[in-house]
Amino acid sequence: MKLNIEGLLVYFPYDYIYPEQYSYMLELKRTLDAKGHGVLEMPSGTGKTISLLSLIVAYQRAYPLEVTKLIYCSRTVPEIEKVVEELRKLMEYYSKEAGEKNNFLALALSSRKNLCVHPEIVHANIIVYSYHYLLDPKIADLVSKELAKKSVVVFDEAHNIDNVCIDSMSVNITRRTLDRSQANVETLQSTILKIKETDAAKLKEEYRRLVEGLKEANVARETDIYMSNPVLPDEVLQEAVPGSIRTAEHFVGFMKRFLEYLKARLRIHHVVQESAPQFLKDISEKVCIDRKPLRFCAERLRSLLRTLEIADIADFSAITLISNFATLVSTYSKGFTIIIEPFEDRTPTIANPVLHFSCMDPSIAIKPVFERFQSVIITSGTLSPLDIYPRILDFHPVTTASFTMTLARTCLCPLVVGRGNDQVAMTSKFETREDFAVIRNYGNLLLEMSAIVPDGIVAFFTSYIYMENIVASWYEQGILENVQRNKLIFIETPDAAETSMALEKYQEACENGRGAILLSVARGKVSEGIDFVHHFGRAVIMFGVPYVYTQSRILKARLEYLRDQFQIRENDFLTFDAMRHAAQCVGRAIRGKTDYGLMIFADKRYARADKRGKLPRWIQEHLTDGSLNLTIDETVQLSKHFLRQMAQPFKQDQLGLSLLTLEQLQSEEMLQKIAQIAHQV
């Protein structure tokens, strides 16, 4: 159908439309009009991607000078492939309706082996790729720096974007890294010697270039041709490479000294935590290395590798890591912390020193993106509470909205189980998680649900170790044997290949009617990337609140930073983080309006307003007072009732309510209703 979104003709490749899709497009268009950033939360399965694509493509066609490019970032390969497929569908519709051969060029990049700087990337109208191509400075510099300013950037499934940012800027250095770097340095040295004999002019040419400084890059950045790179600070661009590392030999010598210093730092017996300035002070006192040459390290190494014409850069990953670390630590005095641990907490007898250079401020990595591109859209099914993302990513959105799911039948049923039938509170709280009664009650819940839920059940635990322990005690108590009478059991393991197999078998068991249970872990790969549509997930059970492991020093440092810099209280952040993962887990089961599923929150703490309030609105609004703090029996009763209702044939009475024709969409009354779907924050 063809839509009129506030004066913009949008081709939408379906005969009907969900009201929330219309609302979503409306908000999106307003964001693009304002040339600002947006945060939009809409449940998965309501056709978010196609709405985004339809509107932005239409916008690009209508205003080719205002928006030149769409950069669509998603998280996983299947997600990217889905986007490409939807785009294809849209393009087919265009050529069918408009009757014209579309001259749109869309480009999808994925997988390292295909990573190439395609000349077409500059000309493509739409680029689909993974987050890293834009957020990871190492790749962004290769792939994305030439992308035009007038682009719209979309981060889909963006609920974890802060962690992606942090990961791309954090560095860990072990003894092994240092040893490999040492080897790298030696290879460099011998290559330099060789080249000196055969082609000394090349090195001289490089030297001359470095004296000139990185003028070219600077000009490019100032004239806005390139996106800035957080690993390439402005100062570096404006100055020449310092004399102490300008010749190749000097630089190699410098790196050797730096490596020796790091080796010495790793020889410790107790944990050290320090800031970047402290580290710089120490290095200058101990080995007389200044801040300035350190800052040029990454760029200098790149230049050297280029000059020596080294083909396989992957071999030099260790020394590249070290040089990146050197540049980062000397560039950012805020937002990073250095933690040196002599051993793992769990194994204090085995020396395994690690230097964590850990980024605490996700805004550092994403800042160039917000600065460069005129509109950045952050969207996902679960972004609640919406206001926290602009704060931790440090940007000012023009639109912040959450959309509900219009439903002809209530196809999701969130329930909070707080007690066992013996009235013992059910919780994964640290103090009681080893409690026999709690584990038994969790087991009973699973057993009861396995008897009444058809086909597939997915259960999530708060951590892998917790799951291992519970599975072991359930096994000892004979609970799992009883569960097996109803369904087959599959369990996630740390091994991805093993888990993939378990997943496929799980689906097979759901498919052939035997029914199965998948025990899995929040924050794990399954919870982040696998959908359990229809009978693959008729119920999701979330055992406990998936708080992150709070004893880690890195997390503590990050919490401190959030408190000092963004005035976000530790508890607020931890709860936010736990709830977004819980929402991700339970949201796996509902993948559309024809789907249905139970969402069982098995922890009494979910009943509290501070937890409940952080769930996405589309889940929250179905969580009534009557479904809080239930016992197992009550849960079973409510679930039975729900499942019986859902098992009735889904009558096609969606039309006019949660599914609209063009005429219905245009009625005044409906437009008013639609205005209420978007919940502005």
Binding-residue pattern over the window 591 to 620 for other proteins, x denoting contact by CB under 8 A: -xxx--------------------------
Minimum distance from CB of 505 to other proteins (Å)? 5
Q: Quick check: 454 binds other proteins (CB under 8 A)?
A: no
Nearer to other proteins, 134 or 582 (CB): 134
Phi-psi label, residue 352: left if phi above 0, alpha if psi -120 to 50, beta otherwise: beta
Other Cβ atoms closer than 10 A to 287: 12
Other Cβ atoms closer than 10 A to 511: 13
Among 312, 346, 430, 663, binds other proteins (CB under 8 A): 346
Give the long-range contacts of residues 475-478, CB within 8 A, separation 24 or more: 477/439, 477/440, 477/443
Reported as half-sphere exposure (CB side, CA atoms, 13 A), residue 278 has a value of: 9
Q: Quick check: 505 binds other proteins (CB under 8 A)?
A: yes
The two three-digit tokens of residue 50, written as one number: 């196609």
Minimum distance from CB of 520 to other proteins (Å)? 11
Where helices occur in 269-383 by DSSP H, the ranges are 276-287, 291-307, 317-331, 363-372
Please give the Cα distance from 618 to 403 (Å, whole number). 7
Task: Report which of 438, 313, 26, 356 is spatially closest to residue 177, judged by C-alpha positions.
Answer: 356
Among 125, 358, 399, 631, binds other proteins (CB under 8 A): 358
For the segment 265-304, give every residue that binds other proteins (CB under 8 A). Answer: none
Nearer to other proteins, 218 or 493 (CB): 493
For the segment 516-545, give every residue that binds other proteins (CB under 8 A). Answer: 516, 525-526, 529-531, 533
Task: Report which of 326, 239, 254 is spatially closest to residue 291, judged by C-alpha positions.
Answer: 326
Nearer to other proteins, 380 or 520 (CB): 520
For the segment 175-204, give every residue that binds other proteins (CB under 8 A). Answer: 177
For the segment 384-423, give every residue that binds other proteins (CB under 8 A). Answer: none
Phi, psi values for residue 15, rounded to 5°: -80, -30
Minimum distance from CB of 351 to other proteins (Å)? 12
Phi-psi label, residue 111: left if phi above 0, alpha if psi -120 to 50, beta otherwise: left
Nearer to other proteins, 243 or 494 (CB): 494
Identity of the residue numbered 622: H
Beta-strand pair 336-343/272-274 = antiparallel
According to DSSP, the residues that pair with 380 across neighbouring strands are 41
Tell me how far the alpha carbon of residue 82 is from its chain's centroid.
17
Q: Quick check: 235 binds other proteins (CB under 8 A)?
A: no
Nearer to other proteins, 18 or 642 (CB): 18
Buried b (16+ CB within 10 A) or exposed e, 125-159: bbbbbbbbbbbbbebbbebbbebbebbbbbbbbbb
Minimum distance from CB of 420 to other proteins (Å)? 22
Minimum distance from CB of 464 to other proteins (Å)? 9
Minimum distance from CB of 671 to other proteins (Å)? 20
Task: Report which of 620, 659, 650 is spatially closest to residue 412, judged by C-alpha positions.
Answer: 620
For the segment 621-660, give every residue that binds other proteins (CB under 8 A). Answer: 649, 651-652, 654, 659
Nearer to other proteins, 487 or 611 (CB): 487
Peptide bond into 385 cis (omega under 30): yes
Minimum distance from CB of 358 to other proteins (Å)? 5
Minimum distance from CB of 169 to other proteins (Å)? 8
Scanning 216-224, 281-289, 352-360, 374-382 for contacts with other proteins by CB under 8 A, the matching segment is: 352-360
Identity of the residue numbered 412: L
Q: Quote the Cα angle for 485-489-491, to 5°.
A: 160
Q: Quick check: 218 binds other proteins (CB under 8 A)?
A: no
Among 478, 550, 610, 644, binds other proteins (CB under 8 A): 478
Scanning 254-262, 498-506, 570-578, 623-631 for contacts with other proteins by CB under 8 A, the matching segment is: 498-506
Minimum distance from CB of 386 to other proteins (Å)? 24
Q: Quick check: 78 binds other proteins (CB under 8 A)?
A: yes
Scanning 22-30, 32-40, 100-108, 300-308 for contacts with other proteins by CB under 8 A, the matching segment is: 100-108
Q: Quick check: 552 binds other proteins (CB under 8 A)?
A: yes
Among 68, 102, 273, 469, binds other proteins (CB under 8 A): 469
Q: Quick check: 458 binds other proteins (CB under 8 A)?
A: no
Angle between helices 291-307 and 248-266 (to 10 degrees): 120
Phi-psi label, residue 656: left if phi above 0, alpha if psi -120 to 50, beta otherwise: left
Among 189, 244, 278, 493, binds other proteins (CB under 8 A): 493
What sign does the CA torsion over 342, 348, 350, 356 have?
A: negative
DSSP string, 505-544: HHHHHHHTTS-EEEEEETTSHHHHH----GGG-SEEEEES
Q: Say how many residues touch other proteins, by CB under 8 A.
A: 113
Among 101, 288, 485, 625, binds other proteins (CB under 8 A): 485
Nearer to other proteins, 189 or 473 (CB): 473
Other Cβ atoms closer than 10 A to 316: 21
Classify residue 414 as exposed, middle or buried by CB count within 10 Å of its CB (0-12, 13-18, 19+): buried
Q: Quick check: 34 binds other proteins (CB under 8 A)?
A: no
Angle between helices 291-307 and 276-287 (to 10 degrees): 80
Task: Report which of 255, 251, 210, 218 is spatially closest to residue 234, judged by C-alpha positions.
Answer: 218
Rg over alpha carbons for the chain, rounded to the nearest Å, is 27
Minimum distance from CB of 140 to other proteins (Å)? 12
Scanning 286-294, 418-426, 441-449, 485-493 for contacts with other proteins by CB under 8 A, the matching segment is: 485-493
Angle between helices 436-452 and 479-486 (to 10 degrees): 10
Scanning 165-173, 278-286, 601-609, 669-677 for contacts with other proteins by CB under 8 A, the matching segment is: 165-173
Scanning 284-292, 379-387, 436-444, 480-488 for contacts with other proteins by CB under 8 A, the matching segment is: 480-488
Q: Quick check: 92 binds other proteins (CB under 8 A)?
A: no
Among 214, 378, 503, 545, binds other proteins (CB under 8 A): 503
For the segment 305-334, give every residue that binds other proteins (CB under 8 A). Answer: 317-318, 321
Please give the Cα distance from 472 to 480 (Å, whole number). 9
Nearer to other proteins, 495 or 633 (CB): 495
Minimum distance from CB of 508 to other proteins (Å)? 6
Please give the Cα distance from 176 to 195 (Å, whole number). 28
For the segment 44-73, give every residue that binds other proteins (CB under 8 A). Answer: 47, 49-50
Binding-residue pattern over the window 110 to 149 for other proteins, x denoting contact by CB under 8 A: xxxxxxx-x---------xxx-xx--x-xx----------
Q: Quick check: 480 binds other proteins (CB under 8 A)?
A: yes
